[in-house]
Amino acid sequence: MASKRVVSKVADEAVKRRKSSRIGAKLRMLSTVEVKIEDESLCGAPEHPVKEEIIKQEVKEEPVENFSEIKQEGFETHADEVSPINGTCFSTVRPSDLAQGQPPNWQAIYNEVVAMRGRIITPVDSMGCEKMPDTLSPQLSEKQPQLYRFQLLISLMLSSQTKDEINYEASQNMKKHFISKGFSNGVCIEAIRASSESELDELIKRVGFHRRKAMYMKKACDMLHEKHNGDIPKCIEDVVELPGVGPKMGHLLLQFGWGINSGIGVDVHIHRLAQKWGWVRKSDKPEATRLELESWLPRRLWAQVNPLLVGFGQTVCNSQISNCDVCTLASKGLCKGVNRKLLKGPISEDRLNKLRRQRADLSPLVEDQKAGIVNF
């Protein structure tokens, strides 16, 4: 419970910092909004309805290992897992996970990332789609699982081309607004069906492609009401029929909403990092990355690999800011894309202050270095 309060407090403080920042800083941040791969084709497109091409495929749906723990406290803690400060336990690679045909050194890279992620709190840890409903309403996934699934869907629909912090603000806006209108559950199917598109658009106006997403939310809620008794369907084919929902969102929705391990949710961070580390072949298609990862990554890691790598890509290995001087992949020679200039000398006080002011406070990684916990 303490870890939940920590990440909830971090989420609120992150939003407050954004509101108190100078206008110029806000504009710079908004100009570098991360593009989620699933909707990357929408960049520069006019905001009007478009025909979506739905990718359907036969998938083997299996239950997620220890899913009840995944939803509540992260992943069940074993001897091979790292006790984190961010409320989510990520499993390390076990000997039984290794097999022929896997990329060289993948397990070493994976385990180093797990160790680093356990030392920092990233935006996805409290404001990521699967965490957000419980951050806004503690223990929602346990007390009202159907409502949790619905709010998970909405947070996923809003997430494309939108930072987690802005998605969190939009979800807060909707919750407060709907409660004020008499919907005690806040963001629920009844509230959205009773709202106009323009009303929804005003509530989510800071997210990317907000007008289109307002329309998608309305249509998705009508479809859920008419075809699925107001709940989230349990198969990927039905999920991706919902407007605005593609394979990435669909697999995450099934994993964290139903505990069904239908596939890996590949976003821009996973797509970039998997290619950087040689885990997959170079490709512009996230679906190609997903299929190749699924061909060798142990199925028990499918659900955790998204929040694990998303948080790492948001902070330590950000596409726009090099932090190789605090990354053990660089110090241990496990990454080929290292910024050598950052490794030439000790970390200065000015550099340390910059590390503290990023999307996550990375100073604990420096503290590990000074304490001799890692060998830089």
Per-residue pLDDT tens digits for 74-87: 333 344 555 455 56
For range 228-250, the mean pLDDT: 97
Q: What is the pLDDT of residue 84?
A: 58
Each residue of 319-374: pLDDT tens digit? 999 899 999 999 999 999 999 888 887 899 999 999 999 999 999 999 876 665 54
Q: How far apart are CA 188 and CA 224, in angstroms?
A: 12
Choose, from 248, 276, 285, 370, the residue flagged as catalytic. 248
In this predicted structure, the answer to whether residue 153 has a pLDDT above a threshold of 90 is yes
Same structural domain, 30 and 134? yes
Shared-domain flag, residues 210 and 80: no
Average pLDDT of the chain?
Answer: 83
Looking at the fold, whether 254 and 201 belong to one and the same domain comes out as: yes
Contacts for 208 with CB less than 8 Å, ≥ 6 apart: 33, 39, 160, 161, 162
| Pairwise pLDDT comparison (53 vs 258), residue with the higher score | 258
Pair (232, 168) in one structural domain? yes
Together in a domain, 155 and 18: yes
| Claim to verify: residue 146 and residue 230 sit in the same structural domain | yes
Average confidence (pLDDT) over 190-199: 98
At which of 258, 279, 303 does a domain end?
258
Residue 350: domain span: 64-121+264-376
Domain end residue (candidates: 197, 223, 258):
258
Same domain flag for 96 and 152: no
* pLDDT tier, 12 (very low <50, low <70, confident <90, very high otherwise): low
What's the CATH number where 247 sits? 1.10.340.30
Please check whether residue 155 is in contact with residue 133, taking contact to mean a CB–CB distance below 8 angstroms: yes
Cα–Cα distance for residue pair 177/187, rounded to 1 Å: 9
Residue 218 annotated in active site: no
CATH number of the domain residue 70 falls in: 1.10.1670.10
Work out the pLDDT band at 60, boundaries 50, 70, 90: very low
CB 217 within 8 A of CB 200: yes
Shared domain check, 174 and 285:
no
Count up the domains in the chain and report the number.
2
The verdict on 312 and 243 lying in the same domain is no
Give the pLDDT confidence score for residue 345 in this predicted structure: 79
